[in-house]
Structure 1
Amino acid sequence: MAKLPQRTGLLRDAIKERIVERILDGTYGPGERIVESAVAAEFGVSQAPVREALRDLEAMRFVESQPHRGARVREVTTDELIQIYPVRAALEEVAGREAAARISEEQLAALGEELAAMRRAADDGDLHALMVSDTRFHEIIVEASGNDVLLDVWRSLRVEARSLVSALKSHSDLHAIAELHRPVLQAVQYRDPELAGKEMRAHIEFFGASVISHLSRP
């Protein structure tokens, strides 16, 4: 386990990201209680930064707290996902346009590395690894936009990724999923803002429709 930073604010943020990762990869399932003392003991910290991290995650709607029962992973409804995906599509369209104009060579290389990692994960049949690289691929583009407000809002919507994993478990062709990222990468490489925005929106809308269709099945 990587060592956590010692400064209070950084420590809280590091714990928050660790908990988010576990929610997204299913380690903490919907409705599961997150015990402050257990998390603190695992990370070798006091309960104060854990409590602060959970408070932040409640504001971000990843967890919900109940009196005398602590924090639990919040369940996301199909109706909520129907509302989330158009917002995320709009955000990533803006991110794609801005990133195409501003992205660095290092960030472009990182995008290529994440696509290569998705292809390797597809070869191995490793959905979890594919989703880790998928999330990082999108995060790089949002970071490259240079818009901190957009980045904060985008991160708050990651709760829907848990439902995406569930939907994609029924998708047999992981290679096809990986290759859906190629048009996005190419548009950003061309530094074509309009094309990059269009490809990002289409990409998110496709996955949103897939998730909602999967979750709407009886």
Structure 2
Amino acid sequence: MSRQTETAYQFMKEKIFDGTFRPSQKLIESQLAELIGVSRNTVQKALLKLEQENLVEIETNKGATIKAYTLDEIIHYLEILDVLESLVVKNATHHLAADDMQQLETTVLQMEKCLDQNQLDEYTSLSMSFREIIYKAAKNQKAVELIRGIRSPLRRYQLRTMLLPGIKESSIKEHRKIYDALQKRDEQAVELAVRSDLAMVRESFLQNYQLLL
């Protein structure tokens, strides 16, 4: 991917994640090219990459739109994540080095500080960093690739989920539980903590789907 294509791709991806580009919104290539400062051909290449990540839909002679997900589709994604993340985190439990554990602890402390200061954007970024430390330690990287592919389209809902009452407090508790279980190298506790975290997310969608769109 060329530098300009990467620039266009990252620009549009962030606009999807932060909610500037809304589900089912039509994307006009000429407008995007002018906005980003690249050629229309570059925008088309970036859109193809976003289509591969299930973030946009491209139809012949109709152009691209931001992909919208039904509640059922989101719940199905979360059900798959429940299985895959349990597998990967259990797999990583005995492969995390001392430096990895230190990074996890530092990340959790930073997350707690962000919540105290109501810095939710930074909190969600740290939450992803927390998971990436674990993913990199896992031996089953094929499963990790699948997880990243599933989590990508769900990322747009992260910040809005954090704004729901009680979610940020529950979220940090779940991250702390995962860290504590990993520190003890307790596979069963790790699996329970990961599934508890995803169950909280699933319940949030079931109860507040319309608010999260």
The Cα of 1:86 is off from its aligned counterpart by 0.8
Aligned-pair Cα RMSD in Å? 2.9
The Cα of 1:172 is off from its aligned counterpart by 4.7
The Cα of 1:64 is off from its aligned counterpart by 0.7
- CA separation in 2, counterparts of 1:114 and 1:186? 13
- CA separation in 2, counterparts of 1:172 and 1:32? 30
Q: 5+ residue gaps in structure 1? A: 1-7
Q: Assess if the C-alpha contact under 8 Å between 1:78 and 1:216 holds in 2.
A: no
- CA separation in 1, counterparts of 2:78 and 2:21? 23
- CA change 1:199–1:173 in 2 (3 A) is closer
Which one of 60, 67, 73 corresponds to residue 67 of structure 1?
60
The Cα of 1:133 is off from its aligned counterpart by 1.6
> Which amino acid is 2:196 matched to?
A
Q: Assess if the C-alpha contact under 8 Å between 1:107 and 1:140 holds in 2.
A: yes
- CA separation in 1, counterparts of 2:88 and 2:174? 17
Query: Identity over aligned residues, as a percent?
Result: 23
- CA separation in 1, counterparts of 2:2 and 2:191? 34
1:148 and 2:151 matched = no
The equivalent residue for 2:194 is 200
Query: SS where residue 146 of structure 1 aligns?
Result: coil
- CA change 1:56–1:38 in 2 (3 A) is same
- CA change 1:213–1:13 in 2 (3 A) is same
The Cα of 1:78 is off from its aligned counterpart by 0.6
- CA separation in 1, counterparts of 2:10 and 2:85? 21
The equivalent residue for 1:178 is 172
Count of paired positions: 210
Deviation by residue 1:147-195 (Cα, 9 ceiling, x = unmatched)? 3222221112122232343333222563442222101011112222332
Q: 5+ residue gaps in structure 2? A: none
TM alignment of 1:99-118, pairs within 5 A: 99-118=92-111
TM-score of the two chains, using structure 2 as the length reference: 0.81
TM-score of the two chains, using structure 1 as the length reference: 0.79
The Cα of 1:36 is off from its aligned counterpart by 4.7
